[in-house]
Chains A and B, each alone.
Chain A
Amino acid sequence: MSTGKYVVVLVGLLLVPWVMAQELKPKLGQPLEKLPQLAIGPSGQGLPLGSGSVEEGAIIYRNQCLACHGPTGRMPGNALAGGIGSLDGASPNKTVGSFWPFATTLFDYIYRAMPYGREKTLRDEEIYAVTAYVLFLNDIVSEKTTLSASSLPEITMPNREGFQSVYQIEAVDRALKIQ
């Protein structure tokens, strides 16, 4: 038997259990009509329409965020601002400004998890506004800034290059060990 025929037979044999398994699957998934919100990543894909300014964010922050995060976002334990340049020092201060690599994460997190105890009550414009204000507290944007789906992903965070993904390195290691 030529190698070609052998491969055809082998693939055929392999397909038999696969076809049988296909038939045995319950397949109970219902078509999704309303797609859930995408997680907002660095590309900004899924960001909603609308916009919000630092000025509007300051008012929302005072009413809904200040109690836990402090007047300038520097409440210890819940700090949002400060610490830029501290990461390689004796007491690193990990905040949005000093540590977070992407500004889009701020939108995603405020959207889903803030304000604590009243989660998902902010309107899209309010989320943009609070995001802008927290970036302003870190001197990353000016007080005149308005953020929207197009401008938010354009922001470069100070610690943008501060992370290395070790999962990919490890995946290679694991592959070598299997061989």
Chain B
Amino acid sequence: MLPKNGLLNRRTFLAGSAGFLSTAVWASSQKDEPWRFTSGRRMSPYGAPSKYVGLERLQIGGHPLAPEAGASSTPLERLNGIITPNSLHFERHHSGVPDIDPSQHRLRIFGNVQRPVSFGYEDLQRYPLVSKVLFIECSGNSYANTLPTALDKSAGELNGLLSCAEWTGIPLRQLLEEAGYDPKSDWVVAEGADAAGMNRSVPLSLALEDAMIALYQNGEPLRAEQGFPMRLLVPGCEGNLSIKWLRSLEVRKNPAHTREETSKYTDLLKDGSANQFSLRMGVKSIITAPSGKMQLPDHGVYEITGLAWSGHGAVKTVEVSADGGRSWRAAEIQSEPGLYRPTRFRLPWRWEGQPAVLQSRAVDSSGNRQPTRSGALANAAPGFTYHYNGIQSWGVDQQGRVSNVYR
């Protein structure tokens, strides 16, 4: 019998598709499928999506007085699996995308080190490289859902300052060891080569643990928007820490308290104090389909699917609700879980016109549970909220229109 919330067992869903109608079509009209009758186009040096796909980044914004400074979002609702194509990785730039000639770029390591050194782009290619599938999330992601009124936006428009790629680079530890870092120091200040020269203090423990100097993104050299020729990548931490166009690393005893780690990217609380260096992104999940601004075409079975990730480890479980959190069912985790690697979750759902509120909630390997919206905002001061990871709710009305709602 169909449960009232419509959530189904995925095995039943997959097994139920037997019995094909075999209608033999003997002669096919050339007009219907013309591509069956003439050769296609030639090979091309750098591929492009089909003209029927038309994927684009969303919410391409900029400051009115500084249009190069701003962000653009990944269209999460139009992608599947966990990898974000390089052309669609979200962007956040503080002074536009610099056009860096790699032959003139050097990475400098100095400060509390025995041997201040610099490396060229070609030098770094000769080091042993590692590859990791990792998410990067801007700590301002999903900010719109902290506002008092739910905005009618899509999954990517609301939550698309999140992307995932296979990053390949040099473990930062190797280069710090070559420079002879002072083990009594606690911080490394990373600085970008863009006009903003953005700088962040990174705990030395994180730099030694699993940070890397990324050179490749999904197999190809970094895109300019992602820091070509090289970027810092601090897995699991707010995107701002992974300085793009990385130019220097200064080992030092204390943090520099840069503008981006004091004025911005800190969490102001209701008591007027602020949490600083809240670097790890909280456990979070988002249903990408059905999701905001979609229209369910008719009654029947749909697959609820989405992404889950955590900056505190691996995703352990994801549960889905179709009734605004009254009942929950475990979703299938499809991608192999890994540290700071997003997972794709799926669960079939039958919709027969009943109003529904679709939600997902994740638990990570450190035991953190994704909070409700009100739970996530309980201590946050009004105004700009960073690091928001509350449960996303999608309302489905009787006509099948899906929209962002608060629960």
Binding site for B on A (CB under 8 A): 24-32, 35-36, 38-43, 67-68, 77-78, 87-92, 94, 96, 99-102, 104-105, 108-109, 112-113, 116-117, 119-120, 162-168, 170-171, 174, 177
Which residue of chain A has its CB nearest to the CB of B365? A177
Listed by A's residue number, 5 A-B pairs whose Cβ atoms lie within 8 Å are A29-B118, A29-B123, A36-B191, A39-B201, A39-B252
Q: Is the CB of A41 within 8 A of B278?
A: no
With contact pairs A91-B383, A166-B277 given, residues A26 and B110 touching in the complex (Cβ less than 8 Å): no
B140 to chain A, nearest CB (A): 14
Interface flag for B111 (CB, 8 Å): yes
Interface flag for B117 (CB, 8 Å): yes
B241 to chain A, nearest CB (A): 11
Given the complex of chains A and B, what is the CA–CA distance between A25 and B128 in angstroms?
8
Q: Is the CB of A101 within 8 A of B126?
A: no
Q: Is the CB of B116 within 8 A of A35?
A: yes
With contact pairs A35-B110, A162-B272 given, residues A171 and B205 touching in the complex (Cβ less than 8 Å): yes
A21 to chain B, nearest CB (A): 9
Q: Is the CB of A32 within 8 A of B116?
A: yes
With contact pairs A104-B257, A113-B198 given, residues A92 and B268 touching in the complex (Cβ less than 8 Å): yes
Partner of A99, one of B109, B203, B250, B263: B263
Q: Which 9 A-B pairs have the closest CB atoms?
A: A88-B272, A29-B117, A112-B197, A167-B277, A39-B256, A32-B116, A87-B272, A28-B123, A109-B259
**Stretch touching chain A among B9-17, B155-163, B174-182, B284-292:** B174-182
Given the complex of chains A and B, what is the CA–CA distance between A25 and B123 in angstroms?
12
Q: Is the CB of B276 within 8 A of A166?
A: yes
Known contacts A39-B250, A91-B382, A94-B384; 10 additional CB pairs below 8 A are A29-B178, A35-B110, A35-B116, A41-B257, A88-B270, A113-B196, A163-B274, A163-B275, A164-B274, A167-B277
With contact pairs A92-B383, A177-B366 given, residues A39 and B189 touching in the complex (Cβ less than 8 Å): yes
Which residue of chain B has its CB nearest to the CB of A68? B65
Binding site for A on B (CB under 8 A): 63, 65-66, 69, 94-95, 108-111, 115-120, 123-124, 126-128, 174-175, 178-179, 189, 191, 195-199, 201, 203, 205, 247-248, 250, 252, 254-259, 262-263, 266, 268, 270-280, 312, 366-367, 381-384
Q: Is the CB of A119 within 8 A of B271?
A: no
Partner of B119, one of A30, A77, A78: A30
Given the complex of chains A and B, what is the CA–CA distance between A120 and B196 in angstroms?
9
**In the complex, which residues of chain B have a beta carbon less than 8 angstroms from the beta carbon of A167?**
203, 276-279
Given the complex of chains A and B, what is the CA–CA distance between A41 and B250 in angstroms?
12
Partner of A28, one of B108, B126, B259, B366: B126
With contact pairs A28-B123, A87-B381 given, residues A164 and B108 touching in the complex (Cβ less than 8 Å): no
Which residue of chain B has its CB nearest to the CB of A24? B128
Which residue of chain B has its CB nearest to the CB of A167? B277
**In the complex, which residues of chain A have a beta carbon less than 8 angstroms from the beta carbon of B258?**
39, 105, 108-109
Given the complex of chains A and B, what is the CA–CA distance between A42 and B201 in angstroms?
13
Q: Is the CB of B382 within 8 A of A162?
A: no
Q: Is the CB of B256 within 8 A of A108?
A: yes
**In the complex, which residues of chain B have a beta carbon less than 8 angstroms from the beta carbon of A39?**
189, 191, 199, 201, 250, 252, 256, 258
Q: Is the CB of B189 within 8 A of A27?
A: no
A163 to chain B, nearest CB (A): 4
B319 to chain A, nearest CB (A): 22
A85 to chain B, nearest CB (A): 9
Given the complex of chains A and B, what is the CA–CA distance between A24 and B197 in angstroms?
34
Given the complex of chains A and B, what is the CA–CA distance between A58 and B340 in angstroms?
48
Q: Is the CB of A163 within 8 A of B118?
A: no
Partner of B95, one of A113, A170, A171: A113
A35 to chain B, nearest CB (A): 5
With contact pairs A43-B254, A113-B95, A163-B274 given, residues A32 and B383 touching in the complex (Cβ less than 8 Å): no
Which residue of chain B has its CB nearest to the CB of A163? B276
**In the complex, which residues of chain B have a beta carbon less than 8 angstroms from the beta carbon of A101?**
257, 262
**In the complex, which residues of chain A have a beta carbon less than 8 angstroms from the beta carbon of B116?**
31-32, 35
Partner of A26, one of B127, B203, B279: B127
Output the residue of B109, B124, B201, B266 with the most chain A CB within 10 A. B266
Q: Is the CB of A119 within 8 A of B197?
A: yes
**In the complex, which residues of chain A have a beta carbon less than 8 angstroms from the beta carbon of B66?**
68, 116-117
Q: Is the CB of B117 within 8 A of A30?
A: yes
**In the complex, which residues of chain B have a beta carbon less than 8 angstroms from the beta carbon of A120?**
195, 197
**In the complex, which residues of chain B have a beta carbon less than 8 angstroms from the beta carbon of A92?**
268, 272, 381-383
